[in-house]
Amino acid sequence: MKFTDLAEDSEDSGHTPAERIAAATRSTWVSVVVNLVLTLLQILAGIFSKSQALIADGIHSLSDLVADFVVLLASHHSRKDADADHPYGHHRFETAASLVLGLLLLAVGLGMLWSAVRKLESPETVQEVHVLALWVAGGALVSKELLFRYMLAVAKRVKSSMLVANAWHARSDAASSLVVGLGIIGNLAGYPILDPIAALIVGAMVTKMGWEFSWEALHDLMDRAVDEEEVAAIRQTLLDTPGVEGVHDVRTRKMGDMIVVDAHLEVDASLSVEAGHDISVAARNRVLQRHRVLNLMTHLDPWRKPDLDHDQAKVA
């Protein structure tokens, strides 16, 4: 999901940084409570009802619980001020946390796949599950879907890609609970093999999501640029600054949920150094106010108005 899909410019959010941090922390603690209850309920009910799919879903909830604590840790460290060793701040701690979340999902998913495949190799060992498993899977489905909607709403409000990743982690668990429920229904209907098949599908879903989160975070840690739409918006803000005659070589790199930008500004060559500097400062302030830009480094290039009469004379 692109950051530009989450919300409008940060100046329109109406929330102070402290309010954003408080909202993000509160939503994560809500997730901790929900995942703790579901983990215990699903694993215990899965053991009692002999449902491998429900146990797999409980392990997925456990991974959500661990992910919540990773988010809390990252949120605490990422808001530290810049220092001598980190002149741009600690925003990439969130990106690193997203990478950890992805790797965690990837490991959990591969473990689920291995367990389900081993069960499918010995279908005679698959037992009929108890109806309790179906009720627990249904409750987990509803709980996870409600949690996803709540966390995504908070993520949009506070503009955090890390919280978006954690919210979709909850949605993946809701989807897995749906698959588990269908597998349990099939098992109860006389097709026991559907329970480990459901566990296999859940494992594949978790593995895919883990790979995607890891890959995205890895690219961001390697100074990936933001999308062209956002670069064009930043370039237009620079061009709209009085005194800026042209803009080129706009380069961006992600710093957590923020952006670091380098740009060349063309200003009238006849201006003094001080006047050119003032234009550069004005352009920088406009960008910082209107976009999620952490820092803008500008380079001034001389611009000369074309001499049309001289050019026409040369052509003649």
| Percent of the chain at pLDDT exceeding 90 | 15
CA distances from 296 to 43, 156, 183, 184, 243 (A): 50, 25, 53, 55, 17
Question: Which architecture characterizes domain 228-315 according to CATH?
Answer: 2-Layer Sandwich (3.30)
Flag whether pLDDT at 282 surpasses 90. yes
- pLDDT digit string (tens) for 26-49? 887 888 898 899 889 999 998 988
For residue 287, report the phi and psi dihedrals to the nearest 5 degrees: -65, -45
**According to the model, what pLDDT value does residue 286 have?**
92
**According to the model, what pLDDT value does residue 109 have?**
82
In sequence order, what are the residues at sequence separation of 6 or more whose Cβ sits closer than 8 angstroms to the Cβ of residue 31? 64, 68, 147, 151, 166, 170
* 8 pLDDT tier (thresholds 50, 70, 90): very low
Nearest alpha carbon to residue 237 among 191, 159, 293, 276: 293
Q: Are 105 and 209 in contact (CB under 8 A)?
A: yes
Q: In this structure, which topology does domain 3-221 adopt according to CATH? A: Alpha-lytic protease prodomain-like (1.20.1510)
> Full-prediction pTM beyond 0.75?
no
Mean pLDDT over the full length of the chain: 79
- pLDDT digit string (tens) for 286-304? 998 888 888 898 899 998 8
Flag whether pLDDT at 159 surpasses 50. yes
Q: Delimit the domains of the chain by residue range.
A: 3-221, 228-315
Alpha carbon distance 299, 215 (integer Å): 33
Angle, in degrees to the nearest 10, between helices 132-158 and 161-188: 160
Alpha carbon distance 178, 194 (integer Å): 13
**According to the model, what pLDDT value does residue 292 have?**
82
* 1 pLDDT tier (thresholds 50, 70, 90): very low
Common-topology check for domains 3-221 and 228-315: no
Flag whether pLDDT at 21 surpasses 60. yes
